[in-house]
A and B are shown apart, each in its own frame.
Chain A
């Protein structure tokens, strides 16, 4: 069996047996469940309100998993020194990182699917239509989580988990703000502001590229940049992992 796969399975088991995950799931379930109550209060925008809350619950929980668990994914192995018994096994440091990432990605996918199932039943309960495009919105959430996980891994190769969380949250907020920045720079007459905005938009990933949550609720929108967004997410993830592996290769352990 491939080393990356075995590591991923073990990481999946590690996170699934962690109590923190269940706290997060309870929070997400409350949010999705809340959408049921809110949906019933509204007469005109039932689908939109329930959908927004449902997707928000799934989005927040997967981002929290990617950033908070991702930040300590490798740091925990180093602190507990378990990394010492792993890296002496027939595996490269890159395989180790990939195995850990894949394991967490499995957990995020499981949580997204589980919560989506709950959301599906909420929609059924409210007698609302469920569009197949909802799956695309969920795929967008997963792509965003994978990108942020790559970022968290990169930051964790040179800083402590608390700093990793701060940096990753920064990337999250900037990434969702880039469309606004582009809009303002287009409206602005200041060349300086335009140049700064251009630099920022090219340096940071645009996380709004994965946000189809509103469109699928309102317009039954079929995102036509699905493949492009997938490539965009995986390109950023790969770039981060290559950098992480480069730094990790030069690290002393123990």
Chain B
């Protein structure tokens, strides 16, 4: 089952004194399979945050369909199963960390007793390493601390699906590590996670699936390994040499085909042809460059 299905989503905004229409989303379609961590990639202004807002009902799409958990529309029942951390979170700075989580826990309607809620707060505060600041007002929290407590509020009600907009932004390496661990652990418990990020190393480590957006259109949607395989610039050919197995690295595309033909003509046995997996960062940059070239 898919936890989220987005089909042909369009969204435009009007801006300026003489209103000019900006088409931000131009037919976005993708699916998030249940129980996966899916990364949402794209440059600044690609439409990631707008897509997330449309999915969560914070922005009303011009056109398109959004279905949760198979076939449900966004309702209060669906909202009770979804958690969200916005980009650059601003929270109620007059609340302490604990009061803040208590408020969101109560509002979720998930907890039957204050005791259960307290236990969940204790667990999450420990997980995000904020025990020392639980009684401190959010006014005194640093950006990273706000990000952590924000993630805790997104998870407070044991959501089945969590949407995180740039959860790692502004965190130090230690903070990123904590958050990655928490995201991984949450996914292992069966929660599906959809998050946007510009930090591709973390995304590569965490995500099984990717959705790549460019100029309001989905350019890729599928497995991370498939994407990396597609974006490998070179491949390795292993073949039987005169006396031993030899290998050669060839650029993908025509050079690769020519090399294979050449080896066949020379009656060499080809053992394997495997694409060289590059890092997500290299693959993403390469992909973006390719798309840019295509559009020229």
Contact = CB atoms under 8 A, between A and B. Distances in A.
Interface of A: 1, 3, 6-7, 10, 13-14, 17-18, 80-82, 84-92, 250, 252-254
A3 B13 CA distance: 31
Nearest to B11: A252
A2 B94 CA distance: 22
Contacts of B103: 6, 10
Given A80-B90, A81-B89, A86 B107 contact: yes
B80 A14 contact: no
Given A80-B90, A252-B53, A253-B58, A88 B107 contact: no
A84 B86 CA distance: 7
Contacts of A254: 49, 53, 58-59, 86
Given A10-B103, A14-B94, A17-B94, A87 B89 contact: no
A90 B79 contact: yes
A251 to B, nearest CB: 8
Interface SS majority for chain A: loop
Nearest to B58: A253
A44 B71 CA distance: 77
Interface string B68-110: 0000000011011010111011111011000000011011110
A254 B79 CA distance: 18
Given A18-B94, A82-B91, A85-B153, A90 B76 contact: yes
B109 A3 contact: yes
A220 B285 CA distance: 82
Given A14-B94, A18-B94, A84-B86, A1 B58 contact: no
B94 A92 contact: no
A87 B104 contact: no
B56 interface: yes
A80 B77 CA distance: 26
A88 B58 contact: yes
A88 B108 contact: no
A85 B84 contact: yes
B104 A89 contact: yes
B251 to A, nearest CB: 44
A3 B107 contact: yes
Nearest to B59: A252
A88 B90 CA distance: 15
B57 A87 contact: yes
Interface string B92-132: 10110000000110111100000000000000000000000
Given A90-B109, A254-B49, A85 B56 contact: no
Contacts of A89: 79, 104, 107-108
A12 to B, nearest CB: 11
A82 B92 contact: yes
B239 to A, nearest CB: 56
Nearest to B49: A254
A77 B267 CA distance: 73
Q: Which 4 A-B pairs have the closest CB atoms?
A: A252-B59, A90-B76, A17-B94, A90-B80
B60 interface: yes
A14 B57 contact: no
A53 to B, nearest CB: 33
A246 B282 CA distance: 48
28 contacts: A1-B109, A10-B103, A13-B95, A17-B94, A80-B90, A81-B88, A82-B90, A84-B53, A84-B84, A85-B84, A85-B86, A85-B89, A85-B150, A88-B56, A88-B82, A89-B79, A89-B108, A90-B109, A91-B76, A91-B107, A250-B60, A252-B13, A252-B58, A252-B60, A253-B53, A253-B58, A254-B53, A254-B59
Nearest to B75: A90
A84 B58 contact: yes
Contacts of B89: 81, 85
Contacts of A17: 94
B106 A1 contact: yes
Contacts of A10: 92, 103
A116 B89 CA distance: 41
Contact of A85 (B57, B77, B91): B91
A169 B182 CA distance: 50
A89 B109 CA distance: 9
A252 B61 CA distance: 9
Given A1-B109, A3-B107, A14-B94, 4 more contacts: A13-B95, A82-B91, A84-B58, A85-B89
A81 B95 CA distance: 16
Nearest to A84: B86
Residue among B58, B79, B95, B153 facing the most chain A CB atoms (10 A cut-off): B58
Contacts of A18: 94
Nearest to A16: B94
Contacts of B60: 250, 252
